[in-house]
Amino acid sequence: MPTGVALQDPRRQLFAAAERVLLRDGAAALTSRAVTAEAGVAKGVLHRYFADFDAFLTELVLDRIARVELQRVALLDAAGTGTVPDLLTAALTNLFDPVMVAIVVLVIARDELRARLRAAGTARFPLVGEAAALIAAYLTAERDRGRLAADADIDTLAPTLIGAAQLLYTDRAEGPPEPEAIRRVVVTVLAGVLR
């Protein structure tokens, strides 16, 4: 491996390399050696910035959770505009990009990673729980605006939408579902509460 290569943002470069390995080879192939080889750096570089590989993976997932928070802010800003099904379809499509789906598989596969994420204060099911909270916050905002029924059960609707979307996105050899498939789920789940 090359040495003496200047890294502009080592953490970001290592995260990007890990995401590429996850997408190409899956969670089982994600090792510190695979990440550093993909990044084109010496193996010691990862350990210079992270205590161990699980610390690296924890930070990778926390970085993805921070992106979910940015999506939450954007979706809440859009509340009251467009249509609820269109906004939710776009939000779910953005949430369940291929990297998120791969990271969810990684979290499920690694007990130590889940333990560290819980210690860091993540949702009980890291990343998916934050996504459900995002959808719940948006649905609440729309209910407050009168675009959903006043008695809409947000605590049931949000995880139902996340679970249904996750099922559509996982284990798909032919690629992600079409947005229209996501929209059908949204419309079906919200059928009794849309105004």
Which CATH number is 42's domain given? 1.10.10.60
Largest CA distance in the chain: 61
How many structural domains is the chain composed of? Answer: 2
Residue among 64, 79, 75 nearest 15 (CA): 64
In a domain, 58, yes or no: no
The reply to whether 78 and 137 lie within a common domain is yes
The reply to whether 1 and 39 lie within a common domain is yes
The reply to whether 95 and 126 lie within a common domain is yes
The reply to whether 142 and 68 lie within a common domain is yes
Q: Which helix (H) or strand (E) holds 123?
A: none
**Predicted confidence (pLDDT) per residue in 63-97, tens digit:** 999 999 999 999 999 999 999 999 999 999 999 99
Q: What is the pTM of this model?
A: 0.89
CA pair distance 104, 130, nearest whole angstrom: 12
The reply to whether 39 and 124 lie within a common domain is no
Query: Domain containing 131: what range?
Result: 63-190
**Predicted confidence (pLDDT) per residue in 8-64, tens digit:** 789 999 999 999 999 999 999 999 999 999 999 998 999 999 999 999 999 999 999
Q: Which helix (H) or strand (E) holds 22?
A: helix 10-25
In a domain, 10, yes or no: yes
**Predicted confidence (pLDDT) per residue in 121-132, tens digit:** 998 899 999 999
The reply to whether 102 and 152 lie within a common domain is yes
